[in-house]
Structure 1
Amino acid sequence: MTNVAYVALACGIIIGLGAVGACIGIALMGGRYLEASARQPELINTLQVKMFLLAGLIDANFLIGVGVAMLFAFANPFAG
């Protein structure tokens, strides 16, 4: 395999594992939010703000991985 093939494989792994991790993280967070809001309904507003903040951070983590994969795909430092 050439370096370009390894880079393409690495980009797929970066994006795939990042997507799986983000999906699992958001699913766990959403489940815990529903459990917490069912136990203490008076804290729904506070918990909702924190949940959306964490959802944004989890998605940002995935998008950073996509950016790194795009860097390797289009401006490949290993292909020269």
Structure 2
Amino acid sequence: MEGSIAEMGKFIGAGLSAFGMGLAAIGVGNVAGNFLAGALRNPSAAGGQTATLFIGIAFAEALGIFSFLVALLLMFAV
């Protein structure tokens, strides 16, 4: 009985950490959408903000990858 409760907790934790992957996807969409909205309002300034766009996307995606690794660790390593 004790092992099955531990298994259940492990999979619940992995499922909860998987929400981070979905939220990271929403974050990347937010960053790209706001950049596009700003670029359409002021096309001459869009070129100077492209590096900031890629940095924002990289940070948001890194959080999703970290969440994926936590889910894998909970499922297989513990």
The answer, yes or no, to whether TM exceeds 0.5 is: yes
Of 20, 45, 48, 1:46 maps to 48
Higher helix proportion (structure 1 or 2): 2
Q: Which amino acid aligns with 2:34?
A: R
What is the SS of the residue equivalent to 1:2? helix
Tell me, in whole angstroms, the C-alpha distance in 1 between the residues paired with 2:21 and 2:64: 6
Aligned to 2:32: 30
Deviation at 1:18, TM superposition (A): 1.1
Of 2, 7, 11, 1:8 maps to 11
TM-score for both structures, normalised by structure 2: 0.83
Q: Where does the alignment leave 5 or more consecutive residues of structure 2 unmatched?
A: none
Contact 2:22 2:64 in 1 (8 A): no
Q: Which amino acid aligns with 1:7?
A: K
Tell me, in whole angstroms, the C-alpha distance in 2 between the residues paired with 1:27 and 1:61: 14
Q: Which amino acid aligns with 2:50?
A: Q
TM-score for both structures, normalised by structure 1: 0.81
Q: Which amino acid aligns with 2:42?
A: Q
Deviation at 1:62, TM superposition (A): 0.9
Tell me, in whole angstroms, the C-alpha distance in 1 between the residues paired with 2:69 and 2:22: 16
Contact 2:21 2:68 in 1 (8 A): no
Matched residue count: 75
Q: Where does the alignment leave 5 or more consecutive residues of structure 1 unmatched?
A: none
4+ residue runs of structure 1 moved beyond 4 angstroms?
none
Tell me, in whole angstroms, the C-alpha distance in 2 between the residues paired with 1:65 and 1:20: 10
Tell me, in whole angstroms, the C-alpha distance in 1 between the residues paired with 2:22 and 2:67: 12
